[in-house]
Amino acid sequence: MAVTDTNRERRRRAPFAKWVKTTLLTLGSIAVTMLGLVFVTFIIGRVMPIDPVLSIVGERASQSTYDAVYLQLGLDKPLIVQFWYYLWDVIQGDFGMSLRTARPVSDDIARVFPATLELATIGVFIGIFLGVPLGVIAAVRRGSWIDQIARVVALVGYSMPIFWLGLMGLLLFYGILGWVSGPGRLGIFYEDIVPTRTGMILIDSAIAGEWAVFRNAFSHIILPASLLGYYSLAYISRMTRSFMLEQLSAEYITTARVKGMSESAVIWRHAFKNIRVQLITVIALSYANLLEGSVLTEIIFSWPGIGSYITTSLLSADMNAVLGGTVVVGLIFILLNIFSDLLYRFFDPRSK
């Protein structure tokens, strides 16, 4: 009897022990990845042909001023010591001062990131709501004209440079047709009307009940968000089609059809249900790519997001801002991957 009780106790503790082990491994993976990211950004900051001291004091500063700032930045210390100081500052969220804005880089990133988040979120929703059904229909109607259109849409989405599509979109929908507003995030007349709460204009204006501001902001964001959504749609629809084709050729689908189950039930209740776990990873990666890869879109549309901030800082030799923005974008990419992995485990018990 005592042996049986002991075995039962072990079986009860086994899931908890496995959860602890998985959690520790996940946290360790995050820590190692972030350490590698911080190390790479540190090395980039040191190998760039830019003197950080001259960027601060200017070329006309005296030698004594130069030496004082050189010592203050800790550049006289060994690289390993400099990296430790840099790592400790990053852990505390301190990326230094921006030379261009004369403000803490962390404050600048907190100010510009909501604009990128808003743009990428709308873009990925467009990609999901159009890409998933398009991929499913293309797989079900394999070889038909719908399938051919879906494949061409995905191919064009992968092939066309986004800066060219952005310029053509501005020329057609803004310059010729006048359906949308031009570059920028908000018209000059509507600036500073809505108090900043989330940093996302559409949400803030809706909360404040300023629907005129909401409409103006929407007319500015719809074109760049649609371009990002098109790239997301191309990737999501292609992967959805591939996953669905694999499921539709499986034996259990043939069995379901033989039993007389309706085609819609076979497609959505069985085949699609079995690909949703894979789609979670695809959508998370697509979202992360939009967050980190919207640089050209933000530049073309004068969108004040983190991509535009990093690019402008790089052109101004503001390395604190560049490295700080790079670390934040890398951290977001890592967190989204972890989040998709958690969702994967939730929807697929076999991976636990």
Residue 65 sits in the same domain as residue 147: no
In this structure, is residue 99 part of a structural domain?
no
> What whole-number percentage of the chain has pLDDT above 90?
11
Helix 211-248 crosses helix 145-159 at what angle (to 10 degrees)?
A: 120
* Structure tokens that stand for 188 in this block: 């000059």
Question: How large is the average pLDDT for residues 13-35?
Answer: 70
Domain membership of residue 97 (yes or no) is no
Q: How confident is the model at residue 11 (pLDDT cuts 50, 70, 90)?
A: low
Query: Which has the higher per-residue pLDDT, 23 or 320?
Result: 320
**CA torsion, ordered 322, 28, 351, 282, to nearest 10 deg:** 0
| pLDDT for residue 222 | 92
Of 40, 56, 91, at which residue does a domain stop?
91
Amino acid 58: pLDDT: 67
- Do 18 and 164 belong together in one domain? no
Q: For the purposes of burial, counting CB atoms within 10 Å of the CB of 161, is it exposed (0-12), middle (13-18) or buried (19 or more)? A: exposed
CA angle, 157 as apex, 301 and 220 as ends, to 5°? 25
pLDDT value for 214: 92
Q: Last residue of a domain, which of 56, 91, 126? A: 91
318 domain-assigned: yes
Average pLDDT over residues 323-347: 79
Q: How many domains does the structure of the chain reveal?
A: 2
Assess if residue 101 is contained within a domain: no
303 and 193 fall within a common domain: yes
Task: Identify which has the larger pLDDT, 14 or 97.
Answer: 97
What confidence score (pLDDT) does residue 34 get?
79
Same domain, 192 and 278: yes
CA distance 198 to 220: 18
Domain assignment of residue 144, yes or no: yes
Q: Is residue 96 one of the residues assigned to a domain? A: no
* pLDDT > 70 fraction of the chain, expressed in percent and rounded: 87
Say if residue 71's pLDDT is above 90: no
Q: Average pLDDT in the 179-194 region? A: 85
What's the pLDDT tens digit per position in 127-157? 999 999 999 999 888 888 888 888 888 888 7
Contacts with 312 (C-beta within 8 Å, 6 or more apart), sequence order: 100
User: Which pLDDT belongs to residue 10?
Assistant: 55
CATH number at residue 340: 1.10.3720.10
Task: Tell me, yes or no, whether 120 and 50 share the same domain.
Answer: no
**How confident is residue 351, by pLDDT bands cut at 50, 70 and 90?**
low
Does 177 share its domain with 60? no
Same domain for 165 and 50: no
What's the pLDDT tens digit per position in 303-316? Answer: 888 888 888 888 77
In order of 35, 273, 280, the CA distances from 276 in angstroms are 32, 6, 6
The predicted structure's pLDDT at residue 129:
92
Query: So what's the pLDDT on residue 8?
Result: 56
Asked whether the predicted pLDDT for residue 63 surpasses 70, the reply is yes
User: Could you write out the three-class secondary structure of 312-329?
Assistant: HHHHCCCHHHHHHHHHHH
Instruction: Give me the pLDDT at residue 225, please.
Output: 92
Whether residue 98 is contained in a domain is answered as no
At residue 55, the pLDDT reads: 66
- Domain holding 60, by residue range, is 2-91
What six digits make up the tokens of 39?
């190390």
Is residue 87 domain-shared with residue 118, that is, in the same domain? no
What is the torsional sign of CA 59, 63, 64, 70?
Answer: positive
Report H helices in the chain: 2-47, 52-57, 63-72, 79-91, 105-140, 145-159, 162-169, 201-208, 211-248, 251-258, 263-264, 276-293, 295-300, 306-315, 319-347
Is 102 contained in some domain? no
pLDDT in tens, 277-306: 888 888 888 888 888 767 788 888 888 888
pLDDT at 263: 80
Q: What's the pLDDT score for residue 348?
A: 62
Q: 84 pLDDT exceeds 90?
A: no
Q: Is the pLDDT of residue 4 over 70?
A: no
Report pLDDT digits (tens) over 226-277.
999 998 898 899 899 999 988 888 888 888 888 878 888 888 888 888 888 8
Instruction: Based on the fold, state whether residues 38 and 119 are members of the same structural domain.
Output: no
pLDDT of 125 above 90: yes
pLDDT band at residue 342 using 50, 70 and 90 as cut-offs: confident
Considering the domain architecture, whether residues 77 and 172 belong to the same structural domain is answered as no
Question: Contact, 264 vs 228, CB < 8 A?
Answer: no
342 vs 187, 290, 304, 314, CA distance in Å?
A: 41, 21, 32, 35
Question: What rounded mean pLDDT belongs to the chain?
Answer: 81
Q: Is the pLDDT of residue 45 over 90?
A: no
pLDDT band at 105 (very low <50, low <70, confident <90, very high): confident
Comparing C-alpha atoms, which of 114, 121, 100, 71 is closest to residue 224? Answer: 121
What does pTM read for this prediction? 0.81
Q: Does 140 lie in the same domain as 82?
A: no
Q: Which of 64, 91, 118 is the last residue of a domain?
A: 91
Residues 151, 276: one domain?
yes
Query: What mean pLDDT do residues 202-208 have?
Result: 90
Q: How far apart are CA 224 and CA 26, in angstroms?
A: 35
The DSSP annotation for 260-283 comes to T--HHIIIIIIITTTTHHHHHHHH
Q: Which two tokens stand for residue 267?
A: 């497609």
